[in-house]
Amino acid sequence: MAKGKTEKKAKVKKSSKLDASPKEIAARLEASAKEMVESIKKKQDPEFITKQRGKSNVNFDEDSGLIELGLKETTRNFLNIGHAKKFMQTTLVAEKTHDYLKQNKTASIREIYYELKHTIKDTKENTFDGQIESDSVIVDLEHSVDTIREKLNLHANPKGTLYGDITLVDVVHNKDTFNASKLGRGGWSIMSRIEPEEIKIKKIDADYILVIETAAMYERLVEEGFPKKHRAILVGTGGQAARGTRRLIHRLYAESKIPVYVFTDGDPYGWYIYSVIKQGSMALAAHSGLLSVPDAKYIGMTLDDVKTYGLENVTERMKEGDIKRAKEMMKYPWFQTKEWQAQLKKALTEKIRIEQQALANKSLDFVAKEYLPQKIKKKDFLP
């Protein structure tokens, strides 16, 4: 892993993905289609080039701090019987997303699956036999035209909430301008698409961004008046962060440069949520540069907190899944710091986990009045 860094870094940093307009993306789709048509006219076998996925083409770049997709390509040929169906599916999705871009429409990945699914005339063959097939083709297409699905006007389900002194503008929705500290205690429901051409971050008045795993802890901190007192923006992920929420966190950091602290349950699942926000994931390795925040810091919960704050009585036993996950995480290149190795080892030795809400054992306001302010003051973070 992590060979040929400069090459790969340049790849992530190049701005084509970020800056490409819907028009440009549409042009790339057209160019790819034209090539196929040319091949057919010349009685050649049309081909479609995308990137190899899977572990063998994923690298962790220590300089950028990102999980990245390598340069290995894969070619699909129409006249190869093993490729033909997928080839057909790819052209269907390419045509449909091209339509979306032209018509200024967006669709969920489930909708495009349903929209394209049909039985091919005079056969019993379906275009798609499950969403898994269209999802896979969408990833191929993202890599092929070097963009993210959001730029193909596709999106996954929304999840996540935003609270704090930040003013957003929804450019394509009456230019709605609203401040996420003035929507009562509920906050703003984060959309599945947070592309800059749609949602503008107009103003942030805050010292840091606090990303929170559980909805209940988000509500606790709002109730305690934490965001105002500590000039914090809160992002509630409600478990693993959705793509839209990751994109928003990425943009908040990229556009404001204020620090990002991540606050999850003290267990392998929580730490994994953190790592996805920080370094990205293997499944979306090609898009880490648009979705991740390598400078993010981990504020808690750690298993050391148990002793420090006397929480011995409110730990829980780790489940089998957590133990398995911890063992896998110990091997990931992006968990090779001594702090994280120690943390994972502790988890595997003591087999306990500690939830964010277990801090209520001290008192309800302990998290807002002592735990978080102390950690930030002492810079008591994990890397």
Binding site for a second copy (CB under 8 A): 105-108, 110-112, 114-115, 117-119, 126, 155, 157-159, 161, 168-170, 172-174, 176, 178, 182-192, 199, 214-216, 219-220, 223, 238, 313-314, 355, 357-361, 363-364
Nearer to a second copy, 94 or 199 (CB): 199
The b-or-e profile of 1-29 (16+ CB within 10 A means b, else e) is: eeeeeeebbebbeeeebeebebeebbebb
Q: How far is the CB of 177 from a second copy (least distance, A)?
A: 8
Which helix (H) or strand (E) is 202 found in, with range?
A: strand 199-204
Give me the residue label for tokens 């002492």.
378
For residue 127, how far is the Cα from the chain centroid?
Answer: 29
Q: How far is the CB of 379 from a second copy (least distance, A)?
A: 27
**DSSP secondary structure string, 12-57?**
HH-THHHH--HHHHHHHHHHHHHHHHHHHHTT---EEEEE--SGGG
User: Quick check: helix, strand or coil at residue 189?
Assistant: strand
Q: How far apart are CA 215 and CA 335, in angstroms?
A: 26
Whether 61 and 70 have beta carbons less than 8 Å apart is answered as no
Helical H runs in 173-281? 215-223, 226-229, 243-256, 268-279
Q: Which residues are CB-neighbours of 363 under 8 A, at least 6 positions away? A: none
Q: How far apart are CA 273 and CA 319, in angstroms?
A: 17
Active site residue 114: yes
Nearer to a second copy, 252 or 358 (CB): 358
Q: How far is the CB of 92 from a second copy (least distance, A)?
A: 13
Q: Which of these is catalytic: 114, 218, 261, 298?
A: 114
Name residue 6's amino acid: T
Q: How far is the CB of 221 from a second copy (least distance, A)?
A: 12
Q: How far is the CB of 361 from a second copy (least distance, A)?
A: 5
Catalytic residues: 114
